[in-house]
Amino acid sequence: MSGLDAIVSDPRGAVIGLDFDGTLAPIVPDPTAARVHPDAPAALVELGSLVGTVLVLTGRPAAVAVEYGSPPGGPGLADVPGLVVLGQYGVERWEAGEIVAPPPPPGVEHARAELPGLLDRLGTAGVRVEDKGRALAVHTRRAADPEAALRALREPLEELARAAGLVVEPGRLVLELRPPGMDKGRALTAFLAERSARSVLYAGDDLGDLAAYDAVRACGLPGVTVCSGSTEVTALAERADIVVDGPDGVVALLRDLVAALRDR
């Protein structure tokens, strides 16, 4: 595969981009309980010493991804050499322990005030709201019928988003209300240009990662798209160069890449 060959032959020119939830961390019913795969940080620490940049590109706030990526008693994401975390789909940036983030737009506060009443009126038992500061994620995983709850919420949340000047980002049993104007594709494209990358790998698991896949295809560099596969989302597997079995498979792929780089 030309993309992998380019990474192995010229690792210092490579950007290795990864989503967090569902890719580096298993999906769990409570999003605040998500934690990085226990073997991922060690693999990324090794990889970070060999490639140009390891990039985590996530819908979570950047600081939360770093926190949830730091298991007790071992290395964490903060220990990965040269790591950059782009949070909130690329609006926030964590690098070397420092965070750069603009203030949330006023529409988020409007949606935050209106959302509890809307959910009460809809009678959505088991639905959980995750407040990300710049965005609000409505999770249906704990509802009695998660898919039905997701369908019932879609139109009302889109109406609320329009009134607040926001957009709805669908995901794995979640609908996220967030500001428009940025997505993972735009964030990845800008980052590749910033780093003068010569190759790229991007791994993701959810619909928001499709924009990053498009960026890999359009950037003109040798590239590889990886799907962290699940039964909940199939659209990525249909478009990925490599499909692996969830975060376990992602970690195995990272280890294989480290081994190939060590052997070159």
* Catalytic machinery residues: 19
- Rounded Cα–Cα distance for residues 104 and 251 (Å): 34
Cβ-based neighbours of 175, under 8 Å, separated by 6 or more: 137, 138, 140, 150, 153, 154, 157, 168, 169
SS3 letters across the chain: CHHHHHHHHCHHHEEEEECCECCCECCCCCHHHCCCCCCHHHHHHHHHCCCCEEEEECCCCHHHHHHHCCCCCCCCHHHCCCCEEEEHHHCEEEECCEEECCCCCHHHHHHHHHHHHHHHHHCCCCCEEEECCCCEEEECCCCCCHHHHHHHHHHHHHHHHHHHCCEEEEECCEEEEECCCCCHHHHHHHHHHHCCCCEEEEEECCHHHHHHHHHHHHCCCCEEEEEECCCCCCCCCCCCCEEECHHHHHHHHHHHHHHHHHHC
